[in-house]
Amino acid sequence: MSAPFNLIIAGVGGQGVYGLNRVLWRLCESAGLHCQGSVFKGGAQRQGGIHAVLRIFQASERDYANYSS
């Protein structure tokens, strides 16, 4: 089993990070890749720190259920 590709997107405020995470997720799914991930918001609604974690698996891998974001 090959290792998954881990991507961390960091930012402030949240709208750009969340939007980029959704776009990348949809691109991976349309390419036949499986993704897992989460968005972690900071304490503030705006101007707070935020990061998203996206884990991308190869199309042929079916053992991705053992991984966690």
pLDDT in tens, 3-39: 788 999 998 876 788 899 999 999 998 988 888 888 8
Instruction: Answer whether residue 59 is part of any domain.
Output: yes
**pLDDT at site 16:** 86
CA–CA distance, 18 with 51 (Å, rounded to integer): 8
- Of 33, 68, 32, the closest CA to residue 53 belongs to 68
**Which residue segment(s) compose the domain that 56 sits in?**
5-63
Report the DSSP beta bridge partners of residue 43: none
Instruction: Answer whether residue 32 is part of any domain.
Output: yes
The pTM (predicted TM-score) of the whole model is 0.73
Encoded tokens for 18: 């969340």
Instruction: Answer whether residue 69 is part of any domain.
Output: no
- Exposed/middle/buried for 49, CB within 10 Å: 0-12, 13-18, 19+? middle
Domain count, the chain: 1
Question: Confidence class of residue 67 from pLDDT cuts 50, 70 and 90?
Answer: low
